[in-house]
Amino acid sequence: MHRSIRKSLALVPLALVMISPAARGGEAGTLPTAVRNANAQLLSQFFAQGASPAVLEYRRKLAEYQAARAAFDAEAGAYWSQISEKRKTRNAKRRNGQQITLDDYVLEHPPLYAGPKRPVNPEPEETPERPPRKPIPVVADFLRAAQELYQFTPQRPSSEVEFKRAYARYALASGLTREQAVRVYSFETGGTGSYDVQAGIEHGGKRAISTAMGYNQLLTTNSVELLAEQGHELIRALSDKLARTSGPARHALEHKLTVLKKMVAHAKSVPDTWSEHEKIGNTPQGWAMHAMVLDVDVGPMLQTHKLLTSVLFARAKGYTRPLSAAELEMMNLTGDGTGLDMVTMPQAMREKVPTSNFFQRGGYERNPVAIRHNTVAKLLAVTDERMDSNSSKAGARELAGAF
């Protein structure tokens, strides 16, 4: 709707109030001339629009939609406030070593909007200008940043199986199981992904939808965070390899170790929080760090630690039973704290607790899988089913063979 029409519609109720004395008592002359003229001009402007039946029908449907949406938003707002309060209660109980019970979760499923859709305006509308979408960096950008900032090019594997073997060796030595690594890979990449696969540019996709890359789909922020938190281990492992290397390969490895140390130092230069690491990840500096995912020495270590940190987190919280691949994937997807909330839940509770307890409202309403499989038990079951299906595909079989 044109801005002038919207403005007129908004002012019509005021105009009617202003002319009401005349309507009640026939005393139009008691109103100041300026007010009478303003009323006449406003009403003339409004009614001169000559609203067609289509426009009148649109206005009626729009009012219905707005009323239905307002009612839903009030109901949903109350529900998600309760979700937030329950989450705070669980966190406090965990800090105090208290047992979590069903009463600490919202057991009703969230309301979903089922009212009328917003109608289409038959009149042309002014649409606000949107800023251009910021392009998502891809492998070429990561490599360029690494070269420009560090004069470094990752050592790419000679074949996919070379990378898989390096990943398998490091993962096993670090404490991951073949089942965990292969099944998570199957879930994250569909069982066919390569070491440099990027979200969106897969299975015929043409455009990256995020910076998530590799077997366990690390984001740029993940790479920065792993360098900051696990950098000492990455440096130690690469130093050990350097000590066993001689000849021309040693010089290249020395340069790689120097670059890795610089990246780790930069990642550690900010507070150890996701938001600070995300700021770096959204810059060429973070892109350069993300290029290490492609390196045949460092990449397998980053992929391993993406999962291993969750295993160690659960262990540090007193959860000593080995994580199933589906449980590990929940921690991988939702974050360690939220994932552990689901993992530590007894099966009887998993059957009853809605998945909405582990989401923010916006994330839940955009997640058809969590909505469809709306309890913890169902979400874990469908994750296992997808892992079962994808584990038979060529990439997954090749990775399993590398172990």
Q: Are 307 and 184 in contact (CB under 8 A)?
A: yes
Please state whether the predicted TM-score (pTM) of the whole model is above 0.95: no
Q: Are residues 273 and 182 in the same domain?
A: yes
Q: Are residues 165 and 35 in the same domain?
A: no
CA distance 207 to 197: 12
Q: Are 194 and 162 in contact (CB under 8 A)?
A: no
Q: In the prediction, which pLDDT does 314 show?
A: 92
213 phi/psi in degrees, rounded to 5: -145, 145
Residue 53 lies in a domain: no
Q: Are residues 115 and 143 in the same domain?
A: no
Q: Are 339 and 376 in contact (CB under 8 A)?
A: no
Among the residues of 96-247, which ranges form H helices? 139-150, 160-174, 178-189, 220-243
Q: Are 292 and 154 in contact (CB under 8 A)?
A: yes
Residue 130 lies in a domain: no
- Tokens 């009617």 locate to 16
Boundary of a domain, candidates 97, 125, 153: 125
Q: Are residues 367 and 306 in the same domain?
A: yes
Q: In the prediction, which pLDDT does 104 show?
A: 96
Q: Are residues 324 and 179 in the same domain?
A: yes
Which range of residues forms the domain containing residue 9? 3-47
Q: Are residues 180 and 307 in the same domain?
A: yes
Q: Are residues 314 and 231 in the same domain?
A: yes
Q: In the prediction, which pLDDT does 45 show?
A: 46
Residue 268 lies in a domain: yes
CA distance 181 to 192: 14
Q: Are residues 95 and 244 in the same domain?
A: no
Give the CA count within 13 Å in the CB-facing half-sphere of 331: 23
Question: What is the share, in percent, of the chain residues with pLDDT greater than 90?
Answer: 73
Q: In the prediction, which pLDDT does 30 show?
A: 52
Residue 58 lies in a domain: no
Residue 133 lies in a domain: no
Q: In the prediction, which pLDDT does 143 show?
A: 98
Residue type, 185: Y
Residue 59 lies in a domain: no
Residue 325 lies in a domain: yes
Q: In the prediction, which pLDDT does 39 show?
A: 52
Nearest to 384 by CA among 319, 345, 330, 335: 330
Q: Are residues 175 and 220 in the same domain?
A: yes
Q: In the prediction, which pLDDT does 193 show?
A: 92
- Tokens 């594997």 locate to 157
Q: Are residues 95 and 208 in the same domain?
A: no
Q: Are residues 118 and 25 in the same domain?
A: no
Q: Are residues 176 and 301 in the same domain?
A: yes
Q: Are 180 and 303 in contact (CB under 8 A)?
A: no
* Contacts with 65 (C-beta within 8 Å, 6 or more apart), sequence order: 115, 116, 117, 118, 119
In this structure, the number of other CB atoms found within 10 A of the CB of residue 222 comes to 26
Q: In the prediction, which pLDDT does 37 show?
A: 55
Say how many domains are in the chain.
Answer: 3
CATH code (residue 252): 1.10.530.10
CA distance 193 to 191: 6
Which segments of the chain have a pLDDT < 70? 1-50
DSSP 346: -
> Could you tell me the CA-to-CA distances from 221 to 211, 259, 289, 333, 359 in Å, in that order?
9, 18, 9, 14, 20
Residue 210 lies in a domain: yes
Per-residue pLDDT of 46-55, as tens digits, reads: 444 567 888 8
